[in-house]
Structure 1
Amino acid sequence: MRILVYPHDLGIGGSQINAIELAGAVDRLGHETIVFGRPGPLVDSIRRLGLEFVAAPEAGRRPSVAVSRALAGLVERRRIDILHGYEWPPSLECYLAARRMPHAAAVSTVMSMAVAPFIPKHVPLTVGTHQIAEVESGFGRSAVTVLEPPVDVDANRPGLDLAQGDLRKTWGVPEGAYIVAIVSRLARELKLEGILSAMDAVASLPATMRVCLLIAGDGPARTEVAARAAQVNIRTGRQTVVLTGELADPRAAYDVGDVCLGMGGSALRALAFGKPLVVQGEAGFWELLTPSSLDTFLWQGWYGVGSGQAGGASALRQVLFEILPAERLRADLGAFGRRVVVHRYSLAHAAEAQLDIYGAALETASASRMAYARELEAAGHFLRYKRRRLQARLTGRATADDFNARPVAAGQPLQAFSAGGAT
């Protein structure tokens, strides 16, 4: 097959890293794979994997007619079979490019915490959690697959030489301190609340414990994060919080941590390094991964919604207070997390599953091209979405990551779900 993979952007982030790593794994299985998108920091990663990169035109409003035309031209010139869009704007642009091409099929992957209703229901859809898949099947989607965020368990593992000492020296990480590590985009939606409460939690631990919170990442909430970090460091009189900014290769940040905090793909990479993990969510959600809590995350994803933001820092403080001094417990939980990732989230397994999704999409492409009623329904959802966005901007209530701002997990009860021997 000839496959075009189109991440929603090429800045550092979980969805786009997953897209690129999975594209590389599919390419290694013998399928010609192109990555399409606006140039960004991850272009270097694309080229390191030996993949061809094709720059997209400026998008402007999304979905973009110019981008869809560029995609359609590539499909014709290169005889591309699959256009794979990640998140809703690329998904729609791939669909518009493929809908009149008799030999090509569009597929969509959404790793946000909710799916845009204006992705047409007949487009093959991949999501990252069983909870979201159940909701989308109930919404009437005809082809929904769960493909949990994959991890390259060879490139992310204990024992690698990642210049960990240089990281400590460059950023002034205190010697002899317990390190609590976060690798995260500094986004206001989904991320900021937890990052701020993590600072408060670490600052409230006894000074005799000597704990340092290492935060690797950048983004639109950088100013708020830096301001709170400065306040905490002044209050504690030491380097309690260390901000590195965005790291081209953040693996050393995971590896130096005694405990990692995170959600989604970042949480899974922490587990791949054999680190105890406290899963970050919203509304005060913090939960230590243990054999008894695993089923929760296998159902709803590596994220959660608590009962209220106010108690988040104290809940995390209690977890850290108990686990940081317990070296044996940390080692046992780290080994457990590594087994979970290797068993369920390996990149090799995900590549094989992705190829099955592509094959099924090609088999059903001809029939789906006639689904005009579903296209009209999707267009109606899109127009309502744009109207709501305009109203929100006019009233000062707009959000940047709007489908992460309305996560499925916030409104769905926990279902019984088996780990299937992952322990």
Structure 2
Amino acid sequence: MKALHIITGLGVGGAEQQLRLLLRHLPVECDVVTLTAPGPVADGLTADGVRVTHVGMSGNRDLTALPRLVRLIRAGRYDLVHTHLYRACVYGRVAARLAGVRAVVATEHSLGASQMEGRRLSAGVRALYLASERLGSATVAVSPTVAERLRGWGVPGPRIEVVPNGIDLARFRFDPALRERTRRRLGLPEGAYVVGGVGRLTASKRFDVLVRALAELPDDVWLLLVGGGPEESVLRRAAHRAGTADRVLLTGERPADGSPGADLPSLLSAMDVLASPSGEEAFGLAVVEALAAGLPVLYVACPAVEDLAPGTAPGARRVPGGEGSFVRALLDARAEGSGSRAVPAAAHHYCITRSAAQLMDVYAAALTRTPSGSPSLGVSSV
């Protein structure tokens, strides 16, 4: 089998890094096309031996990208096309069908209750998504929560498959020696209690809640935020206003796994608890990675935990969401102590090899499905 993955961009982000990790475990020959912004993950994929092509799309309405995609898909003689993220799903599914590919799979990484990839879920966004979705063979949801949202949008249930995001469990295994080295490198005082946050620094992640909560916590509590984004300067100003700037560390954007400086496991090892104040998530990858590192987790919304059986993630606790609730929850977590840093069943549930095997089942079903069951575009060439 030969597959082409089409993704909107390859900057440092959850979906982008998840694609790279997945390709390391899929027993399939894969190429990747990025519509925009090749970025650090493109470099990482190339280092892994994956061929990456940049289409050079200039914006959402750059229709010249469509015939370029069609020609590229035809030239590659792909058995299956797999699309990721909104723009790539819309353009990629149309291009794949025009190119004559019968098996077209899309993964929905970021569908929230009110937004998708930071864009508001308007009637136009929904209509375009649903129109292109009909051109595919199957739509993969990264959690049962996302699957339910897709059904609520109008995607037929039989077309939806749940394949959760996966993680490399061994990569996140807690190492006490690494913890000490990392804390020294960061300049953390001995005995500091470190609250961590991981993700893009955007307003929707609500890391400002943690900055404000820090002002109500003891002086030996520090905040370590891992990631980059447009809200970085906003958070720095908020820390200055709260009088906690000397206890807030922002690492900036972290390169993808396998690239220089890809030190998320070491940064997680330096933390004592992970806090996720985002009120809307499609999965909650940072929470799962923290659980794999043996950390206790405080979260507002996390389908990766909420969709599992009770007791699967005993170290994860849901909090209402405001700074007051995080102050109380963090004080309680500190009083309970660090525990053994054992890996809970929830993290094992999201092993990347398991997710890759599930996706291969989706591929096999898409390839055996009769083409006549999919709608036709009525166009033979571009």
TM-score by length of 2: 0.80
**Partner of residue 113 from structure 1, selected from 97, 111, 116:** 111
In structure 2, do the counterparts of structure 1 residues 290 and 79 end up closer, same or farther at CA, with 3 Å as the change threshold? closer
Contact 1:12 1:41 in 2 (8 A): yes
Report 1:402-413 matches (<5 A): none
Deviation at 1:80, TM superposition (A): 0.9
**CA apart distance, 1:44:** 2.9
Q: Which amino acid letter does the alignment assign opposite residue 349 of structure 1?
A: R
CA contact (8 A) 2:225 2:249 kept: yes
Deviation at 1:293, TM superposition (A): 6.8
Q: What residue in structure 1 maps to residue 294 of structure 2?
A: 274
**Distance 1:134-1:101 versus aligned 2 partners, 3 A rule:** same
Q: Residue in 2 aligned with 1:98?
A: 96
TM-score, normalised with respect to structure 1: 0.72
* Distance in 2 of aligned mates of 1:106 and 1:58: 21
SS in 2 for 1:126: strand
1:212 aligns with 2:209: no
CA distance in structure 2 between the aligned counterparts of 1:4 and 1:288, rounded to whole angstroms:
32
Amino acid at match of 1:345: Y
Query: Corresponding residue for 2:192?
Result: 177
Q: Distance in 1 between matches of 2:327 and 2:306?
A: 12
Superposition deviation, residue 82 in structure 1: 1.6
Of the three residues 354, 361, 376, the one matched with 1:349 is 354
Q: Which residue, 228, 245, 248 being the options, matches 2:252?
A: 245
User: Contact 2:82 / 2:107 at 8 angstroms: preserved in 1?
Assistant: yes
Name the counterpart of 1:158.
174
Quote the offset at 1:320 in angstroms: 0.8
Q: 1:161 to 1:106 in 2, by over 3 A?
A: farther
Residues 2 and 32 in structure 1, CA contact (< 8 A), matched pair in contact too:
yes
Distance 2:355 2:313 in 1: 20
Partner Cα separation in structure 2 for residue 319 and residue 11 of structure 1: 34
Offset at residue 272 of structure 1 (A) = 1.3
Residues 90-138 of structure 1, C-alpha deviation per residue, up to 9 Å, x if partnerless?
0111111111233443211111133653323433111122133134235
Structure 1 residues 289 and 368, CA, compared in 2 at 3 Å: closer, same or farther? Answer: closer
CA deviations over 1:128-161 (Å, ceiling 9, x no partner): 2213313423524241011121111122222397
Q: Where does structure 2 lack aligned partners over 5 or more consecutive residues?
A: 117-124, 256-261
Q: Deviations over 1:230-258 (max 9, x none)?
A: 233xx25x732111111221222112111
Q: Does 1:326 align with 2:340?
A: no
Kindly provide the amino acid, as one letter, of the partner of residue 30 in structure 2. T
Specify the alignment match of 1:376 in structure 2: none
Distance in 1, matches of 2:359 and 2:183, equals 38
Partner of 1:5: 5
Which consecutive unaligned segments of at least 5 residues does structure 1 have?
A: 297-301, 374-423
Residues 1:50 and 2:38 aligned together: no
Count of residue pairs the alignment pairs up:
343
Q: Percent identity?
A: 25
2:371 corresponding residue in structure 1 = 366
Q: Which residue of 2 aligns with 1:257?
A: 271
**d(CA) in 2 for partners of 1:254, 1:347:** 19
Matched, 1:36 2:46: no
SS in 1 for 2:251: strand
Q: Contact 2:268/2:293 (CA < 8 Å) preserved in 1? A: yes
CA RMSD of aligned residues (A): 3.2
